[in-house]
Amino acid sequence: MKILHLLYESERDYFGIGGVGVRAYEIYGHLKDRHDITLLCKKYPGAADGYKDGLQHLFAGTESKSLTKTFLAYAYKAAQLVRDRGDLYDIIVEEFSPAIPTFLHAVAGKPVVLQVQGYTGALYFRKYNPIYASALSLMEQLRPACYRNFIFINDETAARFRRNAGSRTAIIANGVSPELLRTPAFEGDYILYFGRIDIYGKGLDLLLAAYKELSQWLPAMRLVIAGDGRDMEEFKKAITALPGEVRKKIEILGWVSGNMKTEALRKAAFVVFPSRHEVQPIAVLEAMACGKPVVVSDIPGFIFVQKNGAGLSFKSGDAPSLARSMRELAESKDRRDIGLKGRESAKDMTWEKVAARFEKFLVETAEMR
């Protein structure tokens, strides 16, 4: 089967890569030997078409350091390519983003699957100016209703979107590498944040404020940051503004993968995710697979953590609440048992199993045309 996947973030992208991109590469890494896969990605400085790790990459758009301009150019060029060359493929998968108005339902001649990995809603108005936020909110509400085939990450996200009667829907969660499940249990000595450096969305301002407070109670507990993103320089400035005795206990690893990622997780006491908005982030699943308890905000995207007893939650947006939850977990005698509960719940979520569910839905959708 020939698959075209519109993937707006890719490896080495100037704007970074998050869960959307990681999920695609993990799934297609298991499918590339059975299918002909093309990733249609957002152009970035230095991007070149060609094969990488068995996957064909095509880049569309413009080389700009403005994310809005890049998204809009990508939407226009990607839709143009689908209109001109879409018939070469058996099925098209589009990653949904309200900021990328492709309107593929109107130009694609082959079945299109809209993969929806999140819902933002009112958070747009806290993050952007009212005009831009209104446009994004409207697109988030209207565009999905034009499509007929959907993949959602969880039931909570699926419930947020209006769909046509008779539309086909699959709930396919994110996954983890089986190697993480085999990582020996280890009692680490630092708090780890692992993810994209997005200060507001990921709640990193809350993390620094909470860690400053926690340091008064547990002065020996370090904070390690693993990740990268466009807010890195601003984040470093925020760290620099902290008191010296707090600042010196914070270490930034940058982007980690492979063995470096496993080691960062393995040596942590627990992992913290203070996000204001999430939908089943891969990083949380990876921490659970390593047997690490987690501290998460009490948003819908983290409900699965509480259901599985894999960690503690705090009131979203509340730094003192986060500090209290981190202290509670740091001092808990049950921390190891909490981590093992998370690992147990992650055992059925390997990327190989996720890829098989994904493949089955695409094949069935293509055959129904």
Token pair of 251 as six digits: 């270490």
Pairing of strands 190-194, 222-226: parallel
Q: Which pLDDT score is estimated for 61?
A: 92
Q: Which pLDDT score is estimated for 63?
A: 85
Rounded distance between C-alpha atoms, residue 366 and residue 111, angstroms? 6
Q: Which pLDDT score is estimated for 359?
A: 98
Work out the angle at residue 114's Cα, subtended by the Cα atoms of residues 288 and 356, and round it to the nearest 5 degrees: 50
Q: Which pLDDT score is estimated for 46?
A: 84
Rounded distance between C-alpha atoms, residue 266 and residue 48, angstroms? 36
Number of domains in the chain: 2
Q: Do 281 and 204 share a structural domain?
A: yes
Work out the angle at residue 226's Cα, subtended by the Cα atoms of residues 299 and 228, and round it to the nearest 5 degrees: 85
Range of 94's domain?
2-175+350-367
Helices (H) and strands (E) in the chain, counts: 15, 14
Rounded distance between C-alpha atoms, residue 226 and residue 233, angstroms? 14
Q: Which pLDDT score is estimated for 128?
A: 84
Model confidence, pTM: 0.83
The DSSP code sequence of 233-251 is HHHHHHHHTS-HHHHTTEE
Which residue in this structure is represented by tokens 């390997």? 350
Q: Do 359 and 234 share a structural domain?
A: no
Q: Do 157 and 215 share a structural domain?
A: no
Q: Which pLDDT score is estimated for 67?
A: 81
Cβ-Cβ contacts under 8 Å for 274 (sequence gap 6 or more): 193, 202, 203, 204, 206, 207, 210, 295, 296, 297, 314, 322
Q: Which pLDDT score is estimated for 369?
A: 64
Three-state secondary structure of 273-305: ECCCCCCCCHHHHHHHHCCCCEEEECCHHHHHH
Contacts 24+ apart (CB under 8 A), 325-333: 325/295, 326/191, 326/210, 326/211, 326/214, 326/270, 326/272, 326/295, 327/214, 327/217, 327/218, 329/270, 329/293, 329/295, 330/191, 330/214, 330/218, 330/221, 330/269, 330/270, 331/218
Which residue in this structure is represented by tokens 């809009």? 72
Instruction: Count other C-beta atoms under 10 Å from residue 12's C-beta.
Output: 11
Q: Do 238 and 116 share a structural domain?
A: no
Q: Which pLDDT score is estimated for 78?
A: 94
Q: Do 244 and 109 share a structural domain?
A: no
Q: Do 237 and 167 share a structural domain?
A: no
Rounded distance between C-alpha atoms, residue 337 and residue 340, angstroms? 5
Q: Do 281 and 243 share a structural domain?
A: yes
Q: Do 182 and 80 share a structural domain?
A: no
Q: Do 143 and 67 share a structural domain?
A: yes
Token pair of 142 as six digits: 């209207």
Determine the residue type at 11. E
Token pair of 130 as six digits: 């009212």
Q: What is the CATH number of the domain that holds 117?
A: 3.40.50.2000
Q: Do 323 and 309 share a structural domain?
A: yes
Q: What is the pLDDT along the chain (369 residues), one digit of tens a residue?
A: 999 999 998 887 877 777 888 899 999 999 999 999 999 999 988 889 999 989 999 999 998 878 888 899 999 999 999 999 999 999 999 999 999 999 888 878 889 999 998 888 887 888 788 999 899 999 999 899 889 999 999 888 888 888 877 889 999 999 999 999 998 878 889 999 998 899 998 999 999 999 999 999 999 999 999 998 889 999 999 999 999 999 999 999 998 888 899 999 999 999 999 999 887 788 999 999 999 999 999 988 898 898 899 999 999 999 999 999 999 999 999 999 999 999 999 988 899 999 999 999 999 999 986
* Cβ–Cβ under 8 Å, residues 353 and 27: no
Q: What is the DSSP letter of 152?
A: E
Q: Do 342 and 234 share a structural domain?
A: yes
